[in-house]
A and B are shown apart, each in its own frame.
Chain A
């Protein structure tokens, strides 16, 4: 567009390129067809409506229509923009009743060339670009003068169509040849044309920010229908071009020389002023300019995913992601998906400085991949995010795990429970000090929307405050009703919490719940629980020591990774686009496993135990989906369920009674045990039948059998034996021999569980277990009474036998014992 003097000149030079574009573009609008329909005809016809003035054109359409035109628009966007707008106007006039003065604008979508804010350099001025940024400031919408009509104050001549750009431009001289007025004009507002104009400032997004730098910002100028589409805080894609505006101070010179050229625009400054600035006329000039981005299209986005980008982006498809990657990046992703050892490699690359704790790492990895969020037919949202809680002794690298996750994913927030209140985590309503308006202040959970919220020292949070995040954890929203503000805000976040056990150290003789000061509802909302115990073991101690010494002495590059962090985040982003469905076999398998869990739950000491509920089933589904996603598969297969089940089993929360140590005396074996349960003592609490399946699922960590049973398990076994005994006693009521020999009882039990035993070794193990249980029932719990030779046996003839078989006494159930299953 031109400055005033050009409008006055009669022999204005025509821009040939522009004119050509105008023609071609008009052709495009008329001729471009999708499925035989002129795609843009209906769109243009809508522009007849008084509130509409912008035509949205897909750049891809233009590309398919005319490659050359497309290139010209891309490279000389700013130059041809007015012509494109004119083409729209011409086209619209052909098809509808359009008032003559109505201006039309064009906005492009799907522009391929995407740049970072930091990459906006002088070389890019004038070309069509797409940038992504976070809107940090919006200014009110103003009318901008597009074309002014002036009245000469000397001779009353009307001067029409003085084009304006950014800057208020009066005619240089009155049209009337006899009038020499150069300065005294009046703008006729009614006859001038205006357009909505808004300035917003955007800032480099966090993902694009180089380390140690302050985010850069760019002023964005929005016009016409693009105004008011961006709000502060939004992340938006802007399509448009880079333009140059002179810096303040240098704009209004006394007219000694021509102002900037038509392509280097003056800022939309107010009325020219004399005064101190007159000194500029003396030959002093600022040499600085500012850049601004003139955007024609604004689309909200959370895109631009790479380089440690967002962990998720629901609108993207895997195809789109692939397109955005360079060949090299794509190759890495492909190679990764083919990696047989992917699971392990990812784990070790994610946490290279943390020794051991493989299960926790796996859990966190699956958390990063996440399950598939679903919406039921009733419109209920089912979360796909996996919440993980890590419980453990002090200095077991819990904080480091959390920090690492925070470091790894940019949309992660690390916060400490000690230093946060519920308001700090969710959202608070605060009265703005200046405007006295209530504003909602985002808490950590909201900030981590679409990411991970790491909460350290979760147990230190006030239970009241823990309750406040219930909603966020299950519904993934935060509701506020405070001070007249009512809002529901998104908090689609996974929660990774770390907690210290009550009393500082994890007491293994007590249950998880007793070890944690956490309410049951909160606990149930975690999909996975991991317990880290600071175990003492020479071999691992050496390994740990070695690692730390290496770290400190810099002997080797201690951070070894199979995959770089960027590779992993790219891979995760890609993999997250998969929405695996659970196939038939997996479904059946899942049902089977769930049934097992339920049964175990019901037959156990029901009233005190943690109920295995649908929540756990949901967790299992999420974890299975996440496993499938990790392998970039469209289907959840039984093997995925297997691993999910294994992890879940390791962490299923049950309010257990202390584990029953069946051989307190066996020091040696106890030590063996220690070695086994490095990180997850729950493993020991596996019910016997669960254990069997688990063994198949995790050949890597075949647990050694230990002679320890959960209280529940013990009760269950005990009850079984008691019931059998009672039955026998009833059957033999008339017989005098009402007891049952211990060996018979054990033999009966082993026969009962015969189906579940696979190997001889297992049989022996089971035998020891049941023997110990019986012993305990006799000596500790006094449920069974041993009938020995000196006892009350009525039958003497058996007495002798008893003497000889001292090891195999006759047992009877204590008459007062009540089975409480």
Chain B
């Protein structure tokens, strides 16, 4: 595909060209955007663009068009850049204006001179977003995205810095614009191979380990600020040119942009005794990390991802083959999924049904301060001991993002779950609750032991409670706090009833208690072929995003239910109970992949609730056999 080659690998030339030919006064950014969105129409076109999620940085040419799927972790202050600057050739004295958009360093040939203060220069603003790979993203999501890429993945043979340099020079050296790579090479070889060597080494792995703690130059490496510990991937500084982009922190976005890894951006001031007044060392490390570790990405197109499921098209409301198939097979898939969950919960069918409702839950609307549509489930019972990691693995295999958080006293007292602002480095230090919407949070309360909760622990427990009850995470800005809304379905596993708030508590009644949970869960994987799993994964995502409505009759019936239940005993149905009931009705409808509630579903919900109530009120019974 020669056409693709052209704009995908030498986008800056094209952009220069577009901008040169635009009528004066027109919006340069939208002109470039139009060009690229035309080129990238249709889902397939995107698949021809290399993604830096799955490819190591050295496998991607610098200044080429790449894709990046990520979560906005922090928003830096806007920066100014020269959108247009003048260069004069020393040879013949000719001068011309160049565009400074979509690049970090000005380009000019060695015999050219840049006029930084020419009156014709234009300064503009752009915003920098600090993005990290989607936290808690399941491996199957990553794998599938990688598989979908049309770019043949070249085996990473070259991991030494020298090879890497050479490769890039070959690609760019014969371009008509002379970039500063000649200079950068010598910079790299001039005694700065230390930290770079480490970086390149990690970059050589198929999955570049961003955290790279084990590397030789660990102390030199900047903290990549991933919300979850042990996460891997490339963090990226995404430069956004559009104003009012509507992006919010924690949004999951896909960026198509121009990769910029020019080593001259790396900061070398550490070695010198230079006192820089504008930034502290910590700030520099946070805001200008070496581009080899945290590349810059100049965004051309950005789209918010409504879901992160590679099995389904971007727009779920549109008619699509894959969605139709799922809908037609909904009944079978549901049964299949239920049986899997039932097995996982040691044969408790009711719990499986509630868990299914939980899996398809999301916050679909806010009634003032009240999140609607969430269902935080607390499963309790002796059998939950050790079940959380296994259950989380199962959920990770089914849904796109999930995270297991054991609530142990030690962890609660030492961790900082909520993000907080670090004014030293002027960045938002992430916490484990800074997750993208739709991330399943599995809390393992069985890990808790007796002891004293320190102030930090109290804060963390409060934070968890806030997430469960209000779907809000409080970010600490030191001088004040700020609530950010979130959408995290929370599942709490505990021995007795959890001390955290919950929407629904259900003591587990396993029909059989397996000797070893591990083997019990392993027994499941036999029937879970990749094909089956993919269907179930798509099913859950489709269910989640189904539009839901309640017709008049059902509404009447629901009201009736509320009033009659309260007639005899007001405590039989509180307002909260009613909220839960309505949520359940919605979720059970969704779990059938249906858009409208039917009387059967309503009855089933009432039945489930009755059964659940009888369990919570009855003393914990000994498990059968």
Contact = CB atoms under 8 A, between A and B. Distances in A.
A353 B478 CA distance: 32
A201 interface: yes
Interface string A772-787: 0000000000000000
Contact of B578 (A214, A286, A548): A548
7 contacts: A142-B277, A219-B278, A249-B264, A276-B268, A413-B481, A424-B458, A447-B481
Interface in B473-493: 477-482, 484-485
Contacts of B458: 419-421, 424
B112 A552 contact: no
Given A244-B80, A270-B276, A394-B576, 19 more contacts: A203-B479, A214-B428, A256-B113, A258-B117, A283-B106, A284-B264, A285-B116, A287-B82, A287-B103, A288-B81, A289-B79, A290-B80, A397-B575, A399-B469, A419-B459, A419-B462, A538-B567, A545-B578, A546-B559
B546 interface: no
Given A423-B455, A552-B586, A199 B559 contact: no
Contacts of B100: 287
B368 A407 contact: yes
Nearest to A235: B479
A679 to B, nearest CB: 14
Interface string A318-359: 000000000000000000000000000000000011000000
A137 B248 contact: no
A542 B10 CA distance: 66
B582 A136 contact: no
Interface in A255-292: 256-261, 264, 267-271, 273, 275-277, 279-280, 282-292
Interface in A540-562: 541-542, 544-546, 548-549, 551-555, 558-559
Which of the listed residues B264, B288, B462 has the most CB atoms from chain A within 10 Å of its own CB?
B264
B249 A212 contact: yes
A416 B463 CA distance: 11
Interface string A680-715: 000000000000000000000000000000000000
Contact of B555 (A257, A275, A284, A549): A549
Nearest to B426: A217
Contacts of A247: 79, 278
Contacts of A26: none
Interface string B357-384: 0000000010111101000000000000
B183 A279 contact: yes
Contact of B571 (A199, A534, A551): A534
B46 interface: no
B477 A215 contact: yes
Interface stretch (B35-43, B186-194, B512-520): B186-194
B470 interface: yes
A545 B560 CA distance: 8
B272 A287 contact: no
Contacts of A244: 80, 123
A554 B365 CA distance: 9
B276 A276 contact: no
Chain B binding surface SS class: mixed
Interface string B186-209: 110010100000000000000000
A400 B455 contact: no
B75 interface: yes
A98 interface: no
Nearest to B555: A549
Interface residues of B, number: 102
Given A269-B276, A548-B582, A552-B372, A279 B113 contact: no
Given A257-B113, A287-B81, A551 B367 contact: yes
Contacts of A209: 482
B577 A395 contact: yes
A232 B559 CA distance: 54
A267 B278 contact: yes
Contacts of B279: 248
B495 interface: no
Contacts of A542: 559, 563
A534 B277 CA distance: 62
A249 B480 contact: no
B180 A201 contact: no
A396 interface: yes
Contacts of B455: 421, 423-424, 428
B278 A549 contact: no
Nearest to B427: A214
B566 interface: yes
A230 to B, nearest CB: 13
A663 interface: no
B74 interface: yes
A396 B575 contact: yes
Contacts of B262: 284
B17 interface: no
Contacts of A546: 559
Nearest to A121: B125
Interface in B406-455: 421, 423, 426, 428, 455
Contact of B104 (A287, A415, A558): A287
Contact of A404 (B78, B108, B368, B485): B368
Interface string B80-93: 11100100000000
B276 A261 contact: no
A285 B368 contact: no
Contacts of A249: 264-265, 267, 269, 288
Nearest to A210: B248
Which of the listed residues A142, A544, A545 has the most CB atoms from chain B within 10 Å of its own CB?
A545
B116 A284 contact: no
B213 interface: no
Which 10 A-B residue pairings sit nearest by Cβ, starting from the closest? A212-B248, A284-B180, A536-B570, A395-B574, A261-B117, A545-B559, A289-B80, A279-B183, A545-B562, A553-B550
Interface string B157-190: 0000000000000000000001110111011001
A518 interface: no
B371 to A, nearest CB: 11
Contacts of B367: 353, 551, 558-559
Which of the listed residues B112, B274, B586 has the most CB atoms from chain A within 10 Å of its own CB?
B274
Interface string B92-115: 000000001001111111101111
Contacts of B274: 269-271, 273
B276 A248 contact: yes
A403 interface: yes
A283 B109 contact: yes
B105 A286 contact: yes
Contact of A288 (B104, B108, B190): B104
Contacts of A588: none
Nearest to A534: B570
Contacts of B184: 279, 284
Nearest to A402: B369
Given A279-B186, A279-B264, A549-B558, A213 B249 contact: yes
Nearest to A167: B277
Nearest to A219: B278
B108 to A, nearest CB: 5
A233 interface: yes
A612 B156 CA distance: 83
B275 A553 contact: no
A248 B267 CA distance: 8
Given A122-B124, A247-B79, A289-B79, A283 B187 contact: no
B147 interface: no
Given A287-B81, A552-B550, A269 B426 contact: no
A499 interface: no
A395 B549 CA distance: 26
A211 interface: yes
Given A214-B428, A245-B278, A261-B117, A447 B480 contact: yes
B389 interface: no
A134 interface: yes
B575 A260 contact: no
Nearest to A262: B117
A403 B470 contact: yes
